[in-house]
Amino acid sequence: MQVTQNLCILGATGSIGCNTLNVVANHTDKFNVFALTGNAQISKLAEQIIQFQPSFAVVPTERAAKALKELLNSQANSTEILFGKQALCDIASHEDVTTVMSAIVGAAGLMPTLAAVKSGKRVLLANKESLVMSGELFINAVSEHGAVLIPIDSEHNAIFQCLPHDFTYADKASSGISHLLLTASGGPFRTLPLNEFASVTPAQACAHPNWSMGQKISIDSASMMNKGLEFIEAKWLFGLNEDDIKVVIHPQSTIHSMVQYVDGSVLAQMGNPDMRTPIAHGLSYPERMTSGVQPLDFSALHNFSFEEPCSERFPNLYLAMQASRDGQSATTALNAANEQAVEAFLQNKINFLQINHVNNEVLDKMPIQNLSSLEGILAHDKHSRDIANAVIQNLC
Ligand code: NAD
Ligand code: MG
């Protein structure tokens, strides 16, 4: 590992961002916090800036920059404050940055993450939506620009740890891999009677039994769209086919995913459900360092169970798997539709079941087409959001 990594944390004020800073705070000899970015939580960003004294901070607007400066009140004189979408890309590709934690939620993460990839950074990827939106283009950019991509999503980080060290992208045969097993907790509604789904509230949907996360991924976990997005993410991260990836519900969230080999061996990565483990692994890879996570206590693990995800209960998972087979235009459309639908659900405009309705409608209406350029992907994303908004409007 390099002596000091110069870190840019995109989405520092979120769940992953805060966990990253928590890990980094115990390893100041190895990491220098060079840049922090945040969107709405300006006072939280101000606290982080005062603690970590980064060279740069990025906020969305000039107004937010002014508010941040007032909050800092000369407590971080060496931090330059930038604003706007271009500033996010500029900071992610800044020549002094070695490592970028990509932890913005949703499609907003795509451009800055791609900027980091195109400038050959070490990219720690939490923002799964960027791969769902632009899979092949993103992965091609990684190899073209010599970036190092390390998965932070706990399942993909687990698989990364269970793969052979010399695993070659897309070559499962040489490594004797049979398939990947993505584990899912099943979320807060794994046993909820089906006739109660229409009346669940955003607060109930956000109350994940095992993981503490941002709002959007919490809703995606409740609908299992999160596992659908992760299915697509796994396909692109490891270069495998849909038939090579299986999903299994494991309600205890102790096994974070597995790799099954042709000789019958199954390698699993386990630990307490705490994102600081994959974050610390990604930061220190190929070495190991402490994360602050409590060691797993096997004497306290009373149950280890597994079940198939039911398509009636979790239709979004199967929709995403089908979109993956239909290709880039379908996964871009699905990601866009789902972001709009989740936002509408959080604002109480639609009910929980209607998230799936919006997603279905958008996939039905958007043509399956070849999307190979960034412009094409962004236009397809915009068109899908427009359709999703019209469907939501009709439902309201
Ligand atoms: P979060 O909502 O807690 O935080 C999101 C961060 O993105 C915040 O810092 C916010 O200010 C910033 N942001 C939001 N909209 C923005 C915009 N338009 N422009 C710039 N910045 C913006 O989300 P999270 O739970 O930390 O998740 C972040 C990403 O990591 C998501 O893609 C999620 O799927 C992924 N992920 C999260 C977890 C988890 O445990 N939280 C686990 C695996 C993967
Ligand atoms: Mg995950």
Residues touching ligand 1 (Cβ under 6 Å) are 11-17, 38-41, 60, 103-105, 108, 126-129, 153, 211, 213-217, 275
**CA 112, CA 85: separation in Å to the nearest integer?**
8
Nearest CA to ligand 1 atom 42: 153
Pocket test for ligand 1, best of 8, 10, 15, 343 (most atoms within 8 A of CB): 15
- The whole-angstrom distance between residue 351's C-alpha and the CA centroid of its chain comes to 24
Nearest CA to ligand 1 atom 16: 39
Ligand 1 atom at shortest distance from the alpha carbon of 154: 43
Any idea which residue has 């519900």 for tokens?
249
Question: Residues 166, 168, 174, 179: is their CA dihedral positive or negative?
Answer: positive
pLDDT at 3: 57
- The whole-angstrom distance between residue 306's C-alpha and the CA centroid of its chain comes to 24
Residue pair 273/208 in contact by the 8 Å Cβ criterion:
no
- One-letter amino acid at 179 equals H
**CA 71, CA 43: separation in Å to the nearest integer?**
7
pTM surpassing 0.95?
A: yes
Nearest CA to ligand 1 atom 41: 213
pLDDT along the chain (396 residues), means of 10: 83 98 97 97 97 98 97 90 98 98 98 98 98 98 98 98 95 95 96 96 91 92 97 98 98 97 98 97 98 95 93 97 98 98 98 98 96 96 98 96
**CA 184, CA 230: separation in Å to the nearest integer?**
10
**CA 126, CA 20: separation in Å to the nearest integer?**
11
Beta-bridge mates of residue 56: 35, 80
Nearest CA to ligand 1 atom 11: 39
Any idea which residue has 């871009």 for tokens?
332
SS (H, E, C) 13-53: CCHHHHHHHHHHCCCCCCEEEEEEECCCCHHHHHHHHHHHC
Quick count: other Cβ atoms within 10 Å of Cβ 287? Answer: 9
Nearest CA to ligand 1 atom 32: 127
Nearest CA to ligand 1 atom 9: 11
**Counting ligands in written order, which one lies closest to the CA of residue 211?**
1
**CA 148, CA 141: separation in Å to the nearest integer?**
11
Pocket test for ligand 1, best of 61, 104, 153, 338 (most atoms within 8 A of CB): 104
Ligand 1 atom at shortest distance from the alpha carbon of 104: 7
Q: How many alpha carbons lie under 13 Å from residue 362 in its C-beta half-sphere?
A: 36
Going from the C-alpha of 256 to that of each of 99, 247, 272, the distances in angstroms are 24, 12, 9
**CA 355, CA 236: separation in Å to the nearest integer?**
25
Question: With 0-12 CB in 10 A as exposed, 13-18 as middle and 19+ as buried, what is 352?
Answer: buried
For residue 234, give every residue at least 6 positions away whose Cβ sits within 8 Å of its Cβ, in sequence order, or none. 155, 156, 159, 180, 182, 240, 245
**Counting ligands in written order, which one lies closest to the CA of residue 338?**
1
Compute the distance from residue 75 Cα to the ligand 2 centre, in Å. Answer: 36
Q: What is the token pair recorded at 47? A: 């606290």
Q: Which domains occur in the chain, in start order?
A: 5-151 (3.40.50.720), 159-271+298-315 (no CATH), 327-396 (1.10.1740.10)
Ligand 1 atom at shortest distance from the alpha carbon of 12: 9
Compute the distance from residue 69 Cα to the ligand 2 centre, in Å. Answer: 35
Question: With 0-12 CB in 10 A as exposed, 13-18 as middle and 19+ as buried, what is 92?
Answer: buried
